[in-house]
Amino acid sequence: MDVLNLGILAHVDAGKTSLTERLLYAAGVIDEIGRVDDGNTQTDSLALERGRGITIKSAVVSFVVDGVTVNLIDTPGHPDFIAEVERVLDVLDGAVLVISAVEGVQAQTRILMRTLRRLRIPTLIFVNKIDRAGARYEQVLGSIARKLSSDIVPMGSVTGLGTRDAVFSCFTGADAVGVPGLVDVLADHDDAVLAAYIDDASSVSYRRLRLELAAQTGQALVHPVFFGSAITGAGVEALSAGITELLRPAAGDSNGPVSGTVFKVERGAAGERIGYVRMFSGTVRTRDRIQLGRRGLRKVTAISVFDRGSVVSRGSVTAGHIGKLWGLGDIRIGDPVGLPRPTSEHAFAAPTLETVVVPDRPCDRGSLHAALALVAEQDPLINFRRAGNGQEASVALYGEVQKEVIAATLARDFGIDVTFRQTTTICIERPTGTGAAVEILGTAPNPFLATVGLRIEPAALNAGVDFRLQVELGSMPYSFIKAVEETVRETLQQGLSGWQVTDCLITMTHSGYAARQSHSHGVFDKSMSSTAGDFRNLTPLVLMSALSMAGTTVYEPIHRFHLEIPADSLGPVLPTLGRLRAVPDIPTVSGPWCLLEGEIPAAQVHQLTTQLAGLTHGEGVLESAYERHQPVRGATPTRALSDSDPLNRKEYLRTVVRRVGGLQEGQKALTT
């Protein structure tokens, strides 16, 4: 049986989870449709999800329609949980983007569609809530064409719009409206369709057009648009048929080499890690030993798959399917299972906000750090870090709602009550110039049995960190070179001002080591022989010396904003934007409305949001998304270091001595 891994995406409150319930009901998986407001839906299982009526964690549920097994992945709609959506995108064969017929295209809708198109994920659009007062048809189609994509194909018409009797009727080959519109869109991507239709319209069968529509949809060139209501069921049957007709099932050879991706990790009843794995090739069986990224072989102890609304134990999981795997130990989100697939770029920008988490009871500090480390397994982008010499715990955020989720999780799962300090913006550092440093083995003040020389220089924008060798690859054991590279990347997590350093080229210019030596009785002597630890301990000192010479510039995140306001509100809005350091483009006035676009520091977005209602009589609509980083103007913001500071050599060496149990006697003299 064919398998289709389908994502359901939407702006919050567009009805995504309700649509999931309706699809499960139509497929016979559930006997009664749950309601988000009642907290009894299939895919919202967390107490906070049920209480707030929003999806926080992605969830998988399976059903069968027209002979195709659909693994449906319900994703969060709230922008604070966009990281959950990103993890899911890597494993999808297709997507349904849900839009409200009342609210139309919203801020998150635009971000999601832009990403789906960039990643070329075949996407159907479902306009929900046609039974609600204020529902629109032509206006929503026009908004989709303007704001999302002009390559859309309306799949039918609506009667009784805005009432409980609203009905969606699919276009047919005899429809005078649907066929010409279909030809127009398809012809934009295939001249043969247009030529054939012009020569003899009757010779181009509706079946041929539908086949071409399926082909172009599968290539993410066009996007069929369905209308309906998840509450009444209108249009859902047509959408179900469209899913199996227009979206391609998963490809993959079950007999090929094992290759899969971990997109979700959860904890079992006994505290064990369970990995959700999408298989792209091969078959994984219980008791198989499989390669888990760079962490080596792991033995699979149990497997479950999704089957008609349930999770059932199986002896294997094959290409195209999604399985839950036990026994993989330290499994993490994003890990490749078996052969790694090409690394995809991040679909969305990383979090730009950060806050310090403070336990209400000081005695819980140690437990809090351990608990946050476990929470970070399921949401790596919160980027848990210890700050202030390990006394503080900070996490990265997309927004304020995430605080509630983190607090509720810590209270429910770990019995730890917390509060949060004020949210701050996460900046980055980039090298200003070029710097170099070297420490030679056996030469004061180097206390380690290693020679390391490094040069750091600026790289292209968004290049990340590039590590290169100027020394011969065989000049010392590869494990030592690898230790230097890994430590370079770890050390650059905090620069001269405490922020992550990026967009730089690091070149290893010097290397040297003490060969393995033993006493006469054959026992290895670490005091005379270099180890990877020597290189890991020395590299931060050399790198930060080079970085100090190069200098860094701190950059803050900038958002691109799209602001629709009443034209008579332009006067009070413009000075407010100026006070918030926003740089607006020239306003566009159309009748009673004004469109303002421009850039604003991410740190000021929340303040603009809170002031907007008062400035625009509650009618202003703001959309914003990360655009770029720019140099900070004025005082340079700093952040507390998360660990020992290599710039403070004496304190750093004292910390290293404690960590490794003291330097060898032969090395100690070099520290004085």
pLDDT > 50? residue 670:
no
Query: Which tens digits make up the pLDDT trace of 262-282?
Result: 988 888 888 788 999 999 999
CATH node for 353-426: 3.30.70.3280
The b-or-e profile of 2-22 (16+ CB within 10 A means b, else e) is ebbbbbbbbbbbbbbbbbbbb
Domain 557-631, classified CATH 3.30.70.240, yes or no? yes
215-242 mean pLDDT: 95
Angle between helix 191-199 and helix 178-187 axes, rounded to 10 deg: 140
Q: How many helices (H) and strands (E) does the chain have?
A: 17, 35
Angle between helix 236-246 and helix 16-26 axes, rounded to 10 deg: 80
pLDDT > 70? residue 589:
yes
Beta bridge partners of 512: 451
pLDDT > 60? residue 519:
no
Amino acid letter, 387: A
CATH class as words, domain 259-338: mainly beta
Mean pLDDT of the chain, nearest integer: 86
pLDDT > 70? residue 67:
yes
Beta bridge partners of 385: 394
* CA neighbor of 226 nearest in space, from 97, 92, 68: 97
Query: Which tens digits make up the pLDDT trace of 462-499?
Result: 899 999 999 998 889 999 999 999 999 999 999 999 99
Better-predicted residue by pLDDT, 177 or 235: 235
For the chain, residues classed under CATH 3.40.50.300 are 2-246
Better-predicted residue by pLDDT, 51 or 72: 72
**How high is the pLDDT of residue 656?**
82
396-420 mean pLDDT: 86
Contacts of residue 12, defined as CB under 8 A and 6 or more positions apart, other chains included, come to 54, 76, 77, 78, 79, 108
Beta bridge partners of 4: 70
CATH node for 429-550+642-671: 3.30.230.10
pLDDT > 60? residue 23:
yes
**How high is the pLDDT of residue 669?**
40
pLDDT > 80? residue 196:
no
Query: pLDDT band for position 239 (50/70/90)?
Result: very high
**How high is the pLDDT of residue 78?**
62
pLDDT > 60? residue 146:
yes
Is the pTM of the predicted complex or chain greater than 0.85? Answer: no
pLDDT > 70? residue 518:
no
The enclosing H or E element of 89 equals helix 82-89
Residue with tokens 């924008």: 461
The enclosing H or E element of 601 equals strand 593-601
Phi, psi at 330, each rounded to 5°: -90, 35
**How high is the pLDDT of residue 48?**
46
498-504 mean pLDDT: 94
pLDDT > 70? residue 522:
no
Query: Which tens digits make up the pLDDT trace of 366-387?
Result: 899 989 988 887 777 788 888 7
Q: Tokens at residue 408, please?
A: 């509720």
CB count in 10 Å sphere of residue 240:
20
Long-range contacts of 607-611 (CB under 8 A, 24+ apart): 607/580, 608/561, 608/576, 608/577, 608/580, 608/582, 611/576
For the chain, residues classed under CATH 3.30.70.3280 are 353-426
Residue with tokens 């020597």: 534
Pair 460, 601: CB distance under 8 Å: no
**How high is the pLDDT of residue 52?**
47
Query: Which tens digits make up the pLDDT trace of 152-176?
Result: 999 999 999 999 999 999 998 777 6
Instruction: Give the total residue count for the chain.
Output: 672
Q: Which CATH number fits domain 2-246: 3.30.70.3270, 3.40.710.10, 3.30.1360.70, 3.40.50.300?
A: 3.40.50.300
**How high is the pLDDT of residue 214?**
94
Q: Give the SS3 label for residue 25.
A: helix
